[in-house]
Amino acid sequence: MFYVKHKEIIRSFNFSKAMNKNDLPGYIKHYIYEDEIILVAYKTLRDHGIFTDKKIFLFDNNSKQNERKQIYSIFYKSISAIDITFEKDNAEINLLLDNGYPICLKFIDVTPEDKVRLRILYSCINRVASNMEPLKEDIEKLLNNKFSVKNS
């Protein structure tokens, strides 16, 4: 008899800022279907996270020379659990996929506007994962990048 040591795999991304959707690199746009709407785009030093109305795309450049890229496509309906945590200057969205794979999306140096954006994004993801439609006013806020910080 033998035992296999199980090491938990957690894929983590540290997003540093929200991006203008028009400034996305061309290669990213090839992965977005015509019937998908980009809600929010985030950037790390070398990676990107794109949140559409149907799924999350995570573009992971594994090397400094950009020799290897991994692209994750995560449908919101494949999320079995989701949580969001806010700290003073940071936020974190943790996803547990149906296959048991955990993913941690960290957002660093967030502003009050960023926190509102993330709260609305979390609500949209959670509603789709629960087989509900996201609220139209939430989609509009994300698309227009207009957030009222005083009402958060």
Give per-residue pLDDT as tens, 97-106.
998 889 999 9
Q: How far apart are CA 148 and CA 86, in angstroms?
A: 18
Give per-residue pLDDT as tens, 74-86.
999 999 999 999 9
Higher pLDDT, 118 or 62: 118
Inside any domain, residue 27? yes
User: Which of 4-8, 17-21, 41-45, 123-127 ranks highest by mean pLDDT?
Assistant: 123-127
Cβ-in-10-Å burial (0-12, 13-18, 19+) of 90 comes to middle
Angle formed at CA 49 by CA 48 and CA 52, multiple of 5 degrees: 135
Q: Is 121 helix (H, G, I), strand (E, B) or coil?
A: helix
Give per-residue pLDDT as tens, 21-65.
888 888 888 899 989 999 999 998 778 899 999 999 998 876 555
Inside any domain, residue 2? no
Q: Is residue 4 pLDDT above 70, yes or no?
A: no
What's this model's pTM, rounded to 2 decimal places?
0.85
Q: How far apart are CA 103 and CA 105, in angstroms?
A: 7
The answer to whether 126 touches 95, Cβ cutoff 8 Å, is no
Cβ-in-10-Å burial (0-12, 13-18, 19+) of 113 comes to middle
Inside any domain, residue 6? no
Average pLDDT estimate for 109-130: 95
Inside any domain, residue 5? no
Domain total in the chain = 1
Inside any domain, residue 99? yes
- CATH number of the domain residue 75 falls in: 2.30.29.50
- C-alpha count within 13 angstroms, C-beta hemisphere, residue 60: 13
Domain that holds residue 97: 11-151
Q: Is 126 helix (H, G, I), strand (E, B) or coil?
A: helix
Average pLDDT estimate for 113-129: 96
Higher pLDDT, 144 or 69: 144
Inside any domain, residue 37? yes
Measured N-to-C along each axis, helices 136-144 and 112-129 cross at an angle, to the nearest 10 degrees, of 140
Q: Is residue 9 pLDDT above 70, yes or no?
A: no
